[in-house]
Chain A
Amino acid sequence: SACISGSTKKMIPILSSSVFRSRNFLITTAYTAWSRRIAASTQGVRKPQHEINYNVYPHIPLREIESISGWVPPLDSPPPLPFRINRSKSNNIPVYSEIRKGRTLHLTIIRKIEGDLRALSDGLRRLLGENTQIQINEVSGHVIVKGRHTKPITKWLLHLGF
């Protein structure tokens, strides 16, 4: 069914039996457009893939990920940074996405961090944008980022050599 705007609707002769149905249709179209506009403004806008610059630390050369799957083993010596991220038991980068609050709140959690968590969060801000909301848990060694940033973060950490 075509989306009819309000102005053209007035020109079409409206029968009494279809008034109720058409009124509903008008209301539903207007409601969805309004909600979409609100959602677009409040949601954290993710940096599009082509805008992400993985060269956050210029003194560390980023290594290429040559494999097709996107998995590379960690380097023999860790990169010279104030933090360190160990691999999981299945030898992968420990970055996970979490969805809460009835599928409305998307989070990214980085686990298994040793060292300075604030330095890691500064690096993440440089990667993902200055306004990203990041939370640190020193006791458990977690960093929680608002929004779904698993792929950029894993790629960045693989480039660094963790």
Chain B
Amino acid sequence: MAFSYLISHVRHISRNVCQGFHLPNAKLLYNFDSLKINKILPRLASTKAVLENNSTHDADFSKDDKDYKIYKPSTPQAWITSLDGEPKGIVELDRRVFTANPRLDIMHRYVVWQLAKRRAGTAKTKNRGEVRGGGRKPWPQKHTGRARQGSIRAPHFRGGGVIHGPRPRSYDFTLPRKVRSMALRVALSVKFTQGDLHIVDSLCLEDHKTQHLKDMLDNRQWYSVLFVDGNTLIDRNLRLASKNIPNCDSLPSMALNVHMMLKRHTLVLSLHAVKLLQERLVKDLAEQTWDKYDFKMSSFDSTWESDYYTREVEELNELQEL
């Protein structure tokens, strides 16, 4: 049952899943004047780029070798935009986190664990000892012509106790740490390859007015959103503004979970969250020997790059004050 719900939310996983919708050519970065970026979402932009450059979504198999092609993994890239949709730059992502194999079974395990551990487990029935009455033998053992009975609240009696009924219990179990991190990696990859992942430079809102945020979401046609920001703290304005909007949630990156990611259609990460998630979700994996990953981003205007770093420092100061 849970698995079919998963599949209905995970659409279009093709064979070329691991390569995803990212810009295949670095030259494209400087040809953006010709494209109407404000109206085109990253997914459409990348497909348009594909058509222009006649390149495919497959991994870059070079044809230099006579007999054998060479496997060259391409680093996935994503647009960085402002919340309004203005493109601000491009970031290179860790391919182990954002182009992992689509392991739906691992995501299923995570969701089952999540939903089980939050169960109240308060169901309870009375057994024959707890039902009121039934202490006396209803009729003598012999010579009544009836079957021998010991108590009126035995399970085969009407109004009797329940055999092995539910008792208050905990449905919690510990899912292995590595399975949990893998499930998050798979979920992020699924969102990225389906084009439902958007990276925003910062999720700091100017004011906490719900209507402003709702208008912005309607403009971008995000009717079901999950905002992920920071480590343990979200921007106060974002939290207040998104509280009352239906189908809109905001989470710190430590609280990211697969159930919420599948429930909400679009996933919006701040740059800070991307950096933290990539560091955290890669700890369980072995060290890379080739094509090591470096957090690289290129911004079209250099001013806001400094803002991104100052925000990190502000958050650290906030934590120290607490």
Chain A residues near B (Cβ < 8 Å): 57, 59, 74, 77-78, 80-84, 86-89, 91, 112, 114-116, 119, 138-141
Contact = CB atoms under 8 A, between A and B. Distances in A.
A86 B286 contact: yes
Given A59-B65, A87-B289, A139 B71 contact: no
Contact of B70 (A82, A112, A141): A82
10 contacts: A59-B65, A78-B290, A81-B70, A84-B73, A84-B290, A89-B285, A89-B287, A115-B59, A140-B103, A141-B101
A140 B101 contact: yes
Interface of B: 59, 61, 65-71, 73, 101-103, 285-290
Given A82-B61, A139-B103, A114 B71 contact: yes
Given A59-B66, A139-B102, A88 B286 contact: yes
B104 to A, nearest CB: 8
Contacts of A89: 285-287
Given A112-B286, A114-B73, A139-B101, 4 more contacts: A78-B289, A83-B71, A84-B73, A84-B290
B322 to A, nearest CB: 35
Nearest to B73: A114
Contacts of A91: 286
Contact of A87 (B61, B67, B286): B286
A80 B287 CA distance: 21
A80 B69 CA distance: 8
A155 B231 CA distance: 44
Contacts of B65: 59, 80
**For the complex of A and B, 3 pairs with smallest distance between CB atoms:** A115-B71, A89-B286, A80-B70
A112 B68 CA distance: 21
Contacts of B68: 57, 59, 80-82, 119
Among B61, B65, B71, B102, which residue has the most Cβ atoms of chain A within 10 A?
B71
Contacts of A115: 59, 71
A59 B286 contact: no
A57 B69 CA distance: 12
Contacts of B286: 86-89, 91, 112
Contacts of A112: 286
B71 A81 contact: yes
A139 B102 CA distance: 6
A82 B289 contact: no
A144 B101 CA distance: 18
Contacts of B70: 80-82
A84 B71 contact: yes
Among B66, B69, B286, which residue has the most Cβ atoms of chain A within 10 A?
B286
Nearest to A84: B71
Contacts of B71: 78, 81-84, 114-116
Nearest to A79: B70
Contacts of A80: 65, 68, 70
Nearest to A57: B68
Nearest to A139: B101
B69 A82 contact: yes
A116 B66 CA distance: 17
A82 B62 CA distance: 10
A57 B57 CA distance: 28
Among B59, B73, B289, which residue has the most Cβ atoms of chain A within 10 A?
B289
Contacts of A59: 65-68
A114 B290 CA distance: 12
Contacts of A88: 286
A35 to B, nearest CB: 40
